[in-house]
């Protein structure tokens, strides 16, 4: 999901006719090998520890209150999520902005912090270090970018990704020449191009959160930070196996309790 991206590209002449409700098209979505209700804890969080609304829209992303609240969330969750925690930002610029604002960016709650490099040649070395740290008791935090080098093709299975946090929505730059040409083409083909930026955004989100659950015995907690992650937006855009069991919460205290209970259950079975 979202299926719109396939309909838009494969069936452009019919895209605007809402084929999802048409008898001419049947959409079949497979489930996952894991039992999502017991091995996955997906949470959409709209408020932070001080009840600050989590609004990561472009005009508000660098708000000091939002930055402070986000750090507090990461600090609290990293204490409960064992081993590896992968955090995805909408852009490199925002990642750098947040890290610069942190008092001690090298470590959070005894977990060493590693940052996705801009140079491809440095990725393998970083991943090797991250894997070694995840084998230790404290684990590690890996800061990445949605749509970046570590968001696709890398498996954060088992202890490499017991937790995934997604910050905001990675909407593409509407002024990008490539995107502008794509939108022009869609309009020329008389296809509905208004939703294309949203399709690209959700594709990046789903690629990122799909890094954690990689085999039948895997388990992980996924936390989506943004008040825009509500039932209306998530229902048609998240994969069914995630969307069917996602929890929507504005109480940070309740979230801590749910995550603590989730991992406690696996600790008991692994003893």
pLDDT at 161: 94
**Angle at 101 (CA atoms; ends 98, 104), nearest 5 degrees:** 105
CA quadruple 35, 46, 205, 62: dihedral, nearest 10: -150
The percent of residues above 70 in pLDDT, for the chain, comes to 90
- Containing 87, the helix (H) or strand (E) segment is strand 84-89
pLDDT at 134: 96
> Which stretch of 26-40, 74-88, 198-212 has the lowest confidence by average pLDDT?
26-40
Q: What pLDDT digit, counting tens, does each position of 11-33 carry?
A: 766 655 555 555 667 777 777 77
Q: What pLDDT digit, counting tens, does each position of 64-83 carry?
A: 999 999 999 999 999 999 99
Q: What pLDDT digit, counting tens, does each position of 248-268 carry?
A: 988 999 999 999 999 998 875
Integer Cα distance of 64 and 69 in angstroms = 8
150: left (phi over 0), alpha (psi -120 to 50) or beta: alpha
């Amino acid at each position: 999901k979202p299926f719109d991206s396939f309909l838009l590209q494969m069936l452009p002449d019919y895209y605007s006719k809402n084929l999802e409700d048409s008898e001419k098209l049947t959409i079949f979505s497979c489930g996952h090998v894991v039992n999502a209700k017991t091995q996955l804890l997906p949470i959409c969080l709209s408020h932070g520890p001080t009840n600050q609304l989590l609004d990561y829209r472009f005009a508000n992303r660098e708000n000091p209150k939002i930055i402070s609240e986000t750090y507090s969330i990461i600090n609290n969750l990293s204490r409960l999520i064992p081993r590896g925690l992968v955090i995805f930002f909408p852009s490199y610029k925002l990642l750098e902005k947040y890290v610069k604002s942190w008092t001690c960016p090298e470590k959070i709650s005894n977990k060493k912090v590693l940052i996705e490099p801009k140079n491809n040649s440095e990725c393998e070395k970083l991943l090797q270090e991250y894997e070694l740290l995840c084998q230790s008791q404290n684990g590690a935090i890996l800061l990445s970018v949605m749509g970046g080098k570590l968001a696709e093709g890398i498996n954060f299975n088992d202890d490499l990704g017991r937790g995934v946090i997604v910050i905001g929505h990675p909407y593409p730059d509407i002024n990008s020449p490539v995107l502008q040409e794509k939108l022009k083409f869609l309009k020329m083909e008389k296809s509905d191009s208004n939703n294309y930026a949203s399709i690209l955004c959700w594709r990046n989100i789903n690629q990122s959160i799909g890094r954690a659950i990689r085999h039948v015995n895997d388990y992980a907690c996924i936390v989506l930070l943004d008040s825009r992650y509500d039932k209306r937006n998530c229902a048609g855009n998240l994969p069914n196996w995630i969307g069917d069991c996602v929890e929507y919460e504005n109480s940070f205290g309740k979230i801590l309790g749910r995550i603590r209970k989730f991992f406690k259950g696996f600790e008991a079975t692994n003893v």
